[in-house]
Chains A and B, each alone.
Chain A
Amino acid sequence: MSSAYLRPAIAAVAIAVATALAVYPMLDAGRLGPLIDALGAVALLSLLFPLLWRGRGTWLALFLLGAEYVVAESSGHVAAVSVVAYAAGLIGLCELLFWLAELPAAASIDTTAIGRRLLLLALTSVAAASLALVALLATSVRLGSALAALVLGALAAAALLTIPLLLVRQRRRNQ
């Protein structure tokens, strides 16, 4: 398949996902409505950067959409469970934008590669939704003792530290 067809298709899906993510917090914004609307509009506009300049500025769109959701969620007008879908949408959007950035303007794309990418996208979104749900459930657990809270906190911190550890190990392996 030619990248001339695939690129517009990916861009269209990315725009659709970004629009959904930007519009959802606006639906029931309440008194913080103008701020949320402004954040959503800027987030959608910032999407032009990664679409037109090969992935540059993806961070801006991601952080703006995240900020918009946080503002809407903190004002209490968005259901907490929505974070599951929102997290999946955000990571899906990022994956799409990075895929678009990697695709050359004129190239022949193997269908196997496209299939694998779509599978990766689906798996990432499902995993993201599941993890967001788990995180939500885990944070809503009321622990009886301070010791249990300490153990759980330590485990969570250890899990987080895995990331830099993996990075360090990878660098050593390369050297």
Chain B
Amino acid sequence: MSRSPKLVLYAAFAAVSFIAALALGRPELAGLGAPFALVLVLGLSLPPPAKVETSVRLSRERVLEGDEIEAELFLSSPETCETQFELVLPRGIEPTDDPVTFVLGLARGRRRALTVRLKCEHWGAYRLGELRLRIGDRARLRLADQRIGGTAVLRVYPSRERLQSLIKPLETQPFAGNRVSRAKAEGIEFADIRPYVRGDRVRRLNWRVSSRGQTLYVNQQHPERNADVILFLDSFAEAQRENEGTLDLAVRAAATLADHYLAVQDRVGVVGFGGIVKWLTPASGTLQSYRIAEALLETEVNFSYVWKRIDVLPARSLTPQALVIALSPLLDERGMYALVDLRRRGFDLAIVDVSPIPFASSSEGGTPDPQALRLWRLWRETLHLRYQELGVAVAEWTGSESLANVVEEVRAFRRFAR
């Protein structure tokens, strides 16, 4: 609790008035100072500022980027008081129009409710409801500052883009799915014919070919299988400017890809490869979609000097014959070598280079030197070529164009490479 400047000024003015009245022998001066003394006496005899209790209720706890929510603030106090408070919002959550500072008169024991509209600008897990309060007694002579931590948890999931097509995995898994496998087994898509062997079903006989060849032939089909897709997020380093960075773009791309692959029955896993290594083993279904969304919310750049290799990942996080889609700004050597390592271990790899170039700035924060930028671009192009020599499709994504274009670029490369 602190004394307000009013208390000090009133006390000083009253004291000076009384002393001057005595010294000059003029009673009117005492009359001038007496009201200030009265306010002090009455104000200080009133109860001190009471503690205000608050709670927050959100209209929704899970939203997508760009959505608006309503936060209802409840305040109550055991004493009648006036409180001034500010709703402290984390970065990424903005008020729509209204101010987030309020001056509210609270009556003893009565709960007041206020509604604030908020816009979720950036993905992430947020704790809302942090309040900075200033409570005064009735005469505003004593002030108490109170800080109340947030209790309501809001999860803002990254926004998704629409994709026309997906990067096709080279290999499928043994589980049923929507992809036509390259293997031959029971299925719908015609694959080949072969001579009949004991045990083949009669319904699979190809009578037309059999009648021509004087021996029995059966049809072979491609089975419908699913695929494993690993979204590999390189979180060693990121390029950032204001509220946007390469990691934000990578997370949005990962959320989009995960949703689309899960929609076609594929199993999707996530590997966060950075200062802290995190993984989510591949699985399919709605539950996995939620798991991935939660895992992506926790993605952040953790600074570390430790040299990490792919070996640190458990085997089940990188399933054999999985398609690995790496979302990397290609800024940190550890991430770059990990991708080469993955390819050399035989993984079907595609890289979406989340370009840090649009976030580049000079050391003073201005426009970067064009010469340096050109050299950097050349170096990155060389890097792309090196990956392409290893048979890895690389497509640059600046964030300004649609992710669908990048997917198409990767698909085109993979078609050509085959």
Query: Which positions in A face B, CB cutoff 8 Å?
Result: 2-3, 55, 58-59, 62-63, 66, 69-70, 73-74, 80, 83-84, 86-88, 90-91, 94, 98, 101-104, 106-110, 112-113, 115-117, 120, 124, 127-129, 131-136, 138-140, 159-160, 162-163, 166-167, 170, 173-174
Contact = CB atoms under 8 A, between A and B. Distances in A.
B397 interface: no
B102 interface: yes
A108 B41 CA distance: 31
A122 to B, nearest CB: 13
B311 to A, nearest CB: 55
Nearest to B5: A55
A101 B84 CA distance: 12
B27 A139 contact: yes
Interface residues of B, number: 50
B373 to A, nearest CB: 40
A140 B16 CA distance: 21
Contacts of B182: none
Contacts of A108: 98-99, 101-103
A173 B48 contact: yes
27 contacts: A59-B13, A63-B16, A70-B29, A87-B31, A87-B35, A90-B32, A90-B35, A106-B101, A107-B102, A108-B98, A108-B102, A112-B105, A113-B104, A116-B82, A116-B105, A124-B35, A127-B39, A128-B34, A128-B39, A131-B34, A131-B35, A132-B34, A135-B31, A139-B28, A163-B41, A170-B44, A174-B1
B220 to A, nearest CB: 73
Nearest to A166: B44
A113 B106 CA distance: 8
A139 B26 CA distance: 9
Query: Which among B10, B18, B31, B139 has the highest number of chain A CB atoms within 10 Å?
Result: B31
B343 interface: no
Contacts of B105: 110, 112-113, 115-116
B77 to A, nearest CB: 13
CB-based closest 5 A-B pairs:
A139-B27, A128-B35, A112-B105, A113-B105, A107-B101
B20 interface: yes
Contacts of B5: 55, 58, 98, 101
Interface of B: 1, 4-6, 9-14, 16-18, 20, 24, 26-32, 34-42, 44-45, 48, 82, 84, 86, 98-99, 101-105, 107, 136, 138-140, 142
Given A87-B32, A110-B102, 5 more contacts: A83-B31, A128-B38, A132-B31, A163-B37, A167-B44
Contact of B104 (A62, A63, A94, A110): A110
Contact of A98 (B4, B102, B104): B4
Contacts of B104: 110, 112-113
B44 A163 contact: yes
A51 to B, nearest CB: 15
Given A102-B84, A113-B82, A135-B30, A70 B37 contact: no
A159 B40 CA distance: 12
A143 to B, nearest CB: 13
A110 B85 CA distance: 12
Contacts of A94: 6, 9-10, 36
